[in-house]
Structure 1
């Protein structure tokens, strides 16, 4: 009798979230590692939501370890957490288990971990630092959204399943609306106002495309969460964990510089009358 072979891993292109900007740490390091884990997890019927809860626990334990002066242990735990954070989405897409609940849960559990890590790093200043970090990640979200809108592309595919618990989903949406939506509305309004300042009240598609060039999505993507936790791990190994906290204002300054650059692109396009 022949033996049953384990299911093969689907190509990475089928499980990754297609994005115009590529996050190097995720695409070259964490996603390929996560890809190797899809067959055994899929074979055992693992629910991606359980992975979210598990890597959240790892992240919280890493924060606890940082508060106790740990360096190597939290640095390693954060990289394992990041592999699993990539795996939950890849597994969901590979097995047709994407849900609206899963998307909200993943985003909000990442926020919980980020807050715990930042408080562990700088104490009471950790919460304002978490807000700054969230704004940086929100810029990534908005610049990709605007890039796709300017080109008539779909931003987020519909979930494969409609098996959400309505009470849990409503609670997750309420948290998202309270914390993330105000950031998205504020930054979105600022970006639109700056576009109008250079293109007029009714920007053309050409001006919107000029305002959302592919390089900005690539730069913002490389300030994504996989990169953030890789950088924090490196700072922990160097024995300078607060160096990561100091990098966040620098990241924000870089994004501000990029914003000014893309405004200049629109102004030049407008002057040429394109």
Structure 2
């Protein structure tokens, strides 16, 4: 029964994030089983996850590495519980969706600010934050565009219905829309006049699956390991390495699309 409920609570994804599916989602499911009968509002869980992430950043800034690392993993569990609870209870709202995304960005900014404070390496912390934000954005948009290209539902945001929803939607557009448009324009430019098969090769499942394992749950797990080891600045270097890896994945997509186009031209 519990396994069936867990499957019902899963978000439809084109890629499989192993750290999330094998560790954090099952742990979050235990939290959901407790909260569901109590009719706890999913946005409250999202807010608690955000507060836990901020506490992790405070502990990191104070040099209390083990508590910071543990709080960060608790934040990830609660972050997963929020979505699972919303899906199981049928209370998926625009307010909750926007709140979750914006709190994630706030927590990440606080964590890197704590890295800068605790290590004195401000430039590296800023670079790491920008790199991580870019990697997460590419991950989100790669799956979104993949599903759109393959005719799958992309999970649009629910309609807003109040002032609070409207404010969070405005913040979302301010913080995320420019990045989303940049990715869309880049892809549209690269695929201009491309044949349908070349477009499908560009939006390939392998790229989406690899990027899925650079998702938020995995990122915070690795961040927590770095913090627990007393080397929080190491994660900034890892994020920069991930950004370089994402660029290589983009080059791979270019090669796949061009190869299909070249083979089609030769067959004509």
Is 1:214 paired with 2:202? no
1:145 matched to 2:134: no
Equivalent runs, 1:158-177 vs 2, <5 Å: 159=158, 166-177=162-173
1:59 corresponds in structure 2 to: 53
The structural deviation recorded for 1:195 is 2.6
Q: CA deviation at 1:149?
A: 1.4
Residues 17-47 of structure 1 show CA distances to partners (whole Å, capped at 9, x for unaligned) of 1111111110110001111222210111100
Matched pairs, number: 260
Alpha-carbon distance in 2 for matches of 1:171, 1:246? 35
Q: Deviation string for 1:108-161 (max 9, x for gaps)?
A: 0111100000110124444553333221111011110111111111110664xx
More displaced, 75-84 or 115-124?
115-124
Deviation at 1:9, TM superposition (A): 6.8
Query: In the alignment, what sits opposite 2:101?
Result: 107
Higher deviation after alignment, 8-17 or 263-272: 8-17
Q: 1:252 aligns with which of 243, 246, 253?
A: 243
Partner secondary structure for residue 120 of structure 1? helix
> Against the structure 1 CA distance between its residues 158 and 236, is the aligned structure 2 distance closer, same or farther, given a 3 Å change threshold?
closer
C-alpha separation in 1, matches of 2:166 and 2:3? 34
State the secondary structure of the residue aligned to 2:151.
coil
Please list, as runs of the form range in 1=range in 2, the aligned pairs for 1:67-86 lying within 5 A after superposition.
67-86=61-80
SS of residue in 2 equivalent to 1:273 = helix
Q: Which segments of 5 or more consecutive residues in structure 1 lack a partner in the other structure? A: 1-6
Contact 1:9 1:35 in 2 (8 A): no
Could you list the structure 1 runs, at least 4 aligned residues long, displaced by more than 4 angstroms after superposition: 7-10
- Contact in 2 for aligned 1:150/1:205 (Cα 8 Å): no
Q: Deviation string for 1:206-236 (max 9, x for gaps)?
A: 1111001111111111111101110011001
Partners of 1:158 and 1:168 lie apart in 2 by 15
Aligned-residue CA RMSD in angstroms?
Answer: 1.8
When normalised by structure 1's length, the TM-score is 0.90
Unmatched 5+ residue regions in structure 2?
none
